[in-house]
Each structure stands twice: as C-alpha cells, then as structure tokens.
Amino acid sequence: MAHTLGDLPYAVDALEPYIDARTMEIHHDKHHATYVAKLNEALAKHPELESRGLEDLLRGIDQVPEDIRTAVRNHGGGHVNHTLFWAIMGPGGGGEPGGTVGAAIAKAFGSFDALKEKLSAAAVNQFGSGWAWLVVKDGGLAVQASANQDSPLLSGAAPVLGIDVWEHAYYLKYQNLRPKYVEAWWNTVNWAHVDELYKAATA
Ligand code: MN
C-alpha cells in the first residue's frame, strides 16, 4: 500500500492570523505531498518492506536497505513529521496545557513557561532547516532539535509536539523573523491532541 497525503484536519485559513492560508496551502499541498511521493518512489524499489509501518522503518533506520535509507530518512521523516505537525495544531489553539501532559510538563520543566522558553530557544537556534520537539524518551519528557526532516523516532524518542522551522513554514509571512513565527505558533497548539499523543507514548 502506497502512502497517501491526508487532508488537512481544518481549513487552510483556520490558523490565521498566526499562520497564513497561502503558507498552509503550499506547505501541505506541495511540500508535504512531495515527501509522500518521494517516499513511495523509494519504497517501490523494496516491495518486501510493504507490510512494515513507516514509524517502524524509522525506528530501525539502520536495517532499511542502504539504497533507499537516505530517502526513507528524509521523505519518510518528512511525511511523519508533517502529519504530526498538522494534527498538533488547530483553530482556537494555544493557552496552557491541561490534562496529563500539562501535569507532566510542570513536573519535568518546572512550569509551562519554562518549557515554552526551552522549546522556543531550540527552535530559534536550530541552524538551517529542521525542527524543535517535545518528546517522550525513556519514559520522560525532553526537548530536542533535529536537522532536515530527521524524526525523533530515529533516536528512539516519541514526538508529542513539534515546530517546523524550515523557511517554507514561515517565510511568506515572517520572512527572516523566525522568532516572531515561533512566538505566534504557540497560539496554534492543540493541547488536547498533544495530551493524547503523550498518553499513547507513555502507555
Ligand atoms: Mn515543513
């Protein structure tokens, strides 16, 4: 079964004014679509991997055949990263996290503001294209950054929140002002979904 590009779970203008409709459109319909197409192109060379889930392939990237390993890492990473990214945002988002994840954040970082500061710094300071993540690793919450489309799954962590800091994610609206985008992005976070991901990752 080839991988498919899912629809955005909301309208392209649903995250206005924080993320503009045109950026969402190009980001989902062009960039994410290309990751899916190139992932499928790579996997077509190895039909024996057909039954393996993508997350499973990324967790065991060293066992992926060498001729498609980089493509799976980049385009497979691009596919899972963006699928997560659309889901952890939503209209009417932002505010402070409640639920299980809210309590876990307070315990791990001292406060939500402390997490926000740490994750924002990771996002702003990531050199070049990449992501900043809140992950579950070894049962606990941690902040990580990654280059390119590297998924936290590659290093045995489970992402529960991530911010895309590729220029394609913000350049139309924010140009070179990545910190402004990062600050605005917090207003889009769908904490209910992050809570679900956290519970699944720690179950
Ligand atoms: Mn992106």
Same domain, 69 and 159: no
Q: Map residue 190 onto helix, strand or coil.
A: coil
Query: Tokens 């809140």 label which residue?
Result: 134
Domain closes at, from 87, 110, 128: 87
- Please list the ranges in the chain whose pLDDT falls under 70: 1
Q: Note whether 73 and 61 are within 8 A (CB).
A: yes
Q: How far is the CA of 107 from the centre of ligand 1 (A)?
A: 30
The verdict on residue 8 lying in a domain is no
- Which two three-digit tokens encode residue 190? 């769908």
* Distance (Å) of CA 90 to CA 13, 27, 94, 171: 10, 15, 9, 20
Q: How far is the CA of 110 from the centre of ligand 1 (A)?
A: 30
Q: How far is the CA of 80 from the centre of ligand 1 (A)?
A: 11
Predicted pLDDT of residue 51: 87
Q: Map residue 194 onto helix, strand or coil.
A: helix
Same domain, 38 and 104: no
Domain closes at, from 87, 111, 137: 87
| Euclidean distance between CA atoms 45 and 43, whole angstroms | 5
| Euclidean distance between CA atoms 145 and 132, whole angstroms | 4
Q: How far is the CA of 166 from the centre of ligand 1 (A)?
A: 6
Q: How far is the CA of 164 from the centre of ligand 1 (A)?
A: 6
Q: How far is the CA of 143 from the centre of ligand 1 (A)?
A: 19
Predicted pLDDT of residue 99: 92
Q: How far is the CA of 83 from the centre of ligand 1 (A)?
A: 10
pLDDT digits (tens, 9 = 90+) for 152-190: 999 999 999 999 999 999 999 999 999 999 999 999 999
Domain closes at, from 87, 108, 141: 87
The total of structural domains in the chain comes to 2
Predicted pLDDT of residue 152: 98
Q: How far is the CA of 82 from the centre of ligand 1 (A)?
A: 6
Q: How far is the CA of 199 from the centre of ligand 1 (A)?
A: 25
* Residue 116 structural domain: 99-202
Helices and strands counted in the chain (H then E): 10, 3
Mean residue pLDDT across the chain: 97
Buried b (16+ CB within 10 A) or exposed e, 111-142: eeeebbebbbebbbebeeebbbbbbbbeeebe
Q: How far is the CA of 6 from the centre of ligand 1 (A)?
A: 15
Predicted pLDDT of residue 94: 97
Q: How far is the CA of 115 from the centre of ligand 1 (A)?
A: 22
Q: How far is the CA of 130 from the centre of ligand 1 (A)?
A: 9
Q: How far is the CA of 30 from the centre of ligand 1 (A)?
A: 10
Predicted pLDDT of residue 50: 83
Same domain, 198 and 104: yes
